[in-house]
């Protein structure tokens, strides 16, 4: 077994639907002074469920000191992070949830998104989607360099796995288990989030997770990790 006695604790950074972990990159320098930051990348496959994702995370973190891991889950990564904490509570020191949900209430929107995924390979449809995303990020105050970086990251997404993750959004059902999360939890919610009703969901989770506190970032949108002035290290 690996000797963990002299290492900084692990910060397990679980990504959203993109699945790459690359949206955490601008935060790594600030984190690495106190943690061994691990931006996770989901497997590039098209057949999996939440249990499979958590099992992969469990294997990667099995040698960590008990009660040492800081777990971060952003957007779709939030349900994954909560599943991880429920499966391995003895490993976790703290949980940070960012613009996420225990189950996704906008059922029609997610069903439509699942059906439209194949059209992302069509050049005209993809161009429209890129325009809408860029405009949304611009209105959220994301600078041009970060918007370009966003596009570069999205271009790396493995589409079959992305579609399966969208399907899992529909299957997320953790509302009845929130009281079982017994680690200190910080829930960040962006006031201008157009993808997830983050403030509403954060209030709901904060009422039920025993050791939790909610922080609203009023000026930010869903892409909080790209927002100028926001530092993940401030909340871990």
Decide: residue 180, CB within 10 A, 0-12 exposed, 13-18 middle, 19+ buried.
middle
- Name the more confident of 140 and 187: 187
150-160 mean pLDDT: 86
Question: Is the separation of the CB atoms in 205 and 3 below 8 Å?
Answer: no
Pick the CATH number of 10-235 from 3.10.129.10, 3.40.50.1820, 3.30.450.20, 3.20.20.80: 3.40.50.1820
pLDDT at 184 > cutoff 60: yes
**Cα separation, 47 vs 164, whole angstroms:** 7
- Listed by start position, the domains of the chain span 10-235
Q: What is the pLDDT of residue 235?
A: 95
73-99 mean pLDDT: 98
Question: Is the separation of the CB atoms in 189 and 99 below 8 Å?
Answer: yes
- Name the more confident of 25 and 115: 25
Read off the DSSP letter of residue 169.
H
**Cα separation, 146 vs 191, whole angstroms:** 20
* Residues whose CB falls within 8 Å of the CB of residue 53, separated by 6 or more in sequence, listed in order: 42, 80, 83
178-201 mean pLDDT: 96
pLDDT at 76 > cutoff 60: yes
Q: Is-above-0.85 flag for pTM?
A: yes
């Amino acid at each position: 077994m690996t000797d963990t006695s002299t290492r900084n604790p692990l910060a397990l950074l679980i990504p959203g639907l993109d699945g790459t972990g690359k949206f955490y990159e601008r935060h790594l320098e600030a984190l690495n002074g106190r943690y061994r930051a691990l931006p996770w990348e989901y497997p590039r496959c098209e057949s999996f469920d939440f249990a499979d994702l958590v099992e992969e995370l469990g294997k990667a973190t099995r040698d960590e000191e008990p009660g040492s891991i800081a777990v971060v889950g952003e957007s779709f990564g939030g349900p994954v992070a909560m599943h991880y904490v429920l499966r391995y509570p003895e490993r976790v020191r703290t949980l940070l949830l960012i613009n996420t949900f225990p189950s996704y209430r906008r059922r029609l929107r997610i069903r439509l998104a699942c059906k439209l995924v194949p059209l992302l390979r069509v050049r005209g449809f993809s161009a429209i989607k890129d325009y809408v995303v860029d405009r949304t990020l611009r209105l959220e105050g994301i600078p041009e360099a970060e918007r370009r970086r966003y596009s570069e990251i999205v271009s790396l997404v493995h589409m079959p796995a992305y579609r399966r993750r969208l399907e899992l959004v529909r299957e997320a059902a953790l509302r009845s288990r929130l009281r079982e999360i017994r680690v200190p939890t910080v829930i960040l919610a962006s006031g201008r989030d157009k993808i997830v009703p983050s403030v509403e969901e954060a209030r709901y989770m904060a009422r039920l997770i025993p050791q939790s506190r909610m922080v609203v970032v009023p000026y930010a949108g869903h892409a909080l990790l790209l927002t100028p002035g926001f530092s993940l290290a401030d909340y871990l």
